[in-house]
């Protein structure tokens, strides 16, 4: 049985780990503190939008806290999801968490004229990165899965970190 409230701490822990890995990747191993969790996990931007304000730097789950990391967050809106079951079968059969999260991330990214990046983990499975067509500019090698109807490319996070070209 899952402890009440564990989902929030699990998600926060996942976001911190992603921040560290993205920081190390963007800085070529020099810094682990280029990114951190956005205020209210991106909620600050959502609240501001309801008041007609645009807080693009706080949009998404990951924000840049060091100027060395802006090349990534200026181009991508990054969402993180750590979920018991992402329901990968929903990629071929409608209705599931991964597709829902991807569509939400795409819509949110469009509001800020950024590319969507969904970093997702299902229990007992490797973390994956979901991107749109921009993946062709970032990856030197092949991606693992492509769903044309969703403009969705999926690659394992580990492979992304090893093979992707850093945005400039």
**Largest alpha-carbon pair distance within the chain?**
45
Residue 168, domain member (yes or no): no
Q: Tens of pLDDT along 70-100?
A: 999 999 999 999 999 999 988 887 778 999 9
Q: Which residue range forms the structural domain that includes residue 38?
A: 6-163
Quote the pTM value. Answer: 0.85
- The answer to whether 39 and 58 have CB atoms below 8 angstroms apart is yes
Instruction: Sort strands 115-122 and 76-83 into parallel, antiparallel or unpaired.
Output: parallel
In terms of phi and psi (left: phi > 0; alpha: psi -120 to 50; beta: otherwise), the region of 152 is: beta
Residue 152, domain member (yes or no): yes
Q: Tens of pLDDT along 57-67?
A: 557 999 999 99
CA distance 143 to 129: 10
Residue 57, domain member (yes or no): yes
Domains of the chain: total: 1
């Amino acid at each position: 049985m899952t402890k009440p409230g564990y989902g929030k701490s699990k998600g926060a822990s996942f976001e911190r780990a992603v921040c560290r890995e993205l920081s190390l990747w963007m800085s070529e191993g020099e810094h682990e503190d280029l990114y951190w969790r956005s205020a209210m996990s991106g909620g600050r931007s959502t609240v501001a939008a309801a008041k007609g304000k645009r807080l693009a730097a706080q949009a998404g789950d990951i924000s840049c806290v060091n100027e060395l990391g802006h090349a990534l967050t200026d181009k991508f809106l990054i969402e993180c999801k750590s979920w018991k079951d992402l329901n990968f079968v929903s990629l071929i059969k409608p209705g599931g968490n991964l597709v829902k999260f991807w569509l939400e991330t795409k819509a949110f990214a469009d509001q800020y004229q950024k590319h969507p990046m969904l970093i997702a983990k299902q229990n007992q499975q490797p973390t994956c990165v979901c991107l749109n067509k921009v993946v062709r500019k970032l990856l030197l090698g092949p991606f693992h899965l492509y769903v044309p109807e969703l403009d969705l490319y999926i690659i394992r996070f580990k492979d992304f970190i090893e093979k992707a070209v850093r945005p400039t």
